[in-house]
Amino acid sequence: MSVLLQVSDPHFGTERTPVVEALVVLATQLRPDLVVLSGDITQRARADQFGDARAMMDRLGAPLLALPGNHDIALFDLWSRFVRPYARYSAAFGADLAPVFASNDLMVLGVNTTRAWRHKDGEVSSEQIEAVAQRLSKATPEQLRVVVVHQPIDVVRAEDVPNRLHNHTAAQQAWAAAGADLVMGGHIHLPYVMPLPGLARPLWAVQAGTAVSSRVRRNVPNSVNVVRWTPATGCVVEQWDFSAVESAFVCALSTPMQPQRQ
């Protein structure tokens, strides 16, 4: 079995220390094959915030695939925003903005959906859609095929429609046809698993809440996602919520799915 831990929107600078420590404990227990960090790593793209985030991610003790979110580009420092938008992110997490992780059981493809000229909105270009589709087409039947973005590929609440990824329809269609199983995202601090309708083959949106930040939605606790995959038996996506009573992450919801293999 392969285990993937999705951590999203930690917003370092607003992190809650007890939740950070509980996440480290969870990772120690899970021993994931990969940690996916799907953006909004910091609150204001400061070097010290990136440094604190990097130190925490190193404590999780697993290979890391990270992507920037809109908060990881300087907001008020306009020179940095438009001339070197990813300099601070890259210093902490590397310059590759289209990272790839591949193992016998996993193919995970990162897509940078942030744009310096946009405040919050994200988009995926035609070139990015095609590049991901080409990589997906080379996956083996044993590999769970995961695409990681920051802004959601689709939403479940009308209030979140403005946050949906620009070019989401074209991305869904192309990536489903090329063999994707899951599209992971964050940004809106709302966890859910959503089957995407009307596509060439089954594809699910897997959204994560904020992992450790105080910037939680009303009545939505800190949470992370755990994906368990066995080619013979299929995939399970688990939502792990932070319990203040137990000072620990606990499994709140488990969603089984059977990716198509033909």
| pLDDT score for 262 | 66
Summarised one tens digit per residue, pLDDT across range 103-140 is: 999 999 999 999 876 668 899 999 999 999 999 999 99
Residue with tokens 């620009």: 166
Q: Write down the mean pLDDT value for the chain.
A: 94
Summarised one tens digit per residue, pLDDT across range 152-176 is: 999 999 999 999 999 999 999 999 9
Total Cβ atoms within 10 A of residue 41: 31
Instruction: For the chain, give the longest Cα–Cα distance.
Output: 51
Rounded to whole angstroms, how far apart are CA atoms 188 and 46? Answer: 21
Give 254-259 contacts, CB < 8 A, sequence gap 24+: 255/193, 257/181, 257/193, 257/195, 257/202, 257/204, 258/202, 258/234, 259/144, 259/145, 259/181, 259/202, 259/234, 259/235
| pLDDT score for 81 | 59
DSSP 8-state symbol, 190: -
Tokens for 19, please give them.
Answer: 């939740």
| pLDDT score for 78 | 56
Q: Rounded to the nearest 5°, which phi and psi values hold at 251?
A: -75, 115
Tokens for 2, please give them.
Answer: 């392969």
Is residue 67 a contact partner of residue 112, using CB atoms and an 8 Å limit?
A: yes
Q: Rounded to whole angstroms, what are the CA distances from 69 to 10, 57, 62?
A: 11, 16, 21
Dihedral Cα 205, 10, 211, 260, nearest 10 deg: 20
Is residue 30 a contact partner of residue 226, using CB atoms and an 8 Å limit?
A: yes
Mean pLDDT of 171-184: 98
Summarised one tens digit per residue, pLDDT across range 37-91 is: 999 999 999 999 999 999 999 999 999 999 999 999 976 665 565 667 798 999 9
Total Cβ atoms within 10 A of residue 176: 21
Rounded to whole angstroms, how far apart are CA atoms 136 and 173? Answer: 13
Q: What do you get for the CA distance between the two ends of the chain, in Å?
A: 21
Total Cβ atoms within 10 A of residue 131: 14
Amino acid at residue number 204? W
| pLDDT score for 77 | 64
Rounded to whole angstroms, how far apart are CA atoms 175 and 108? Answer: 13
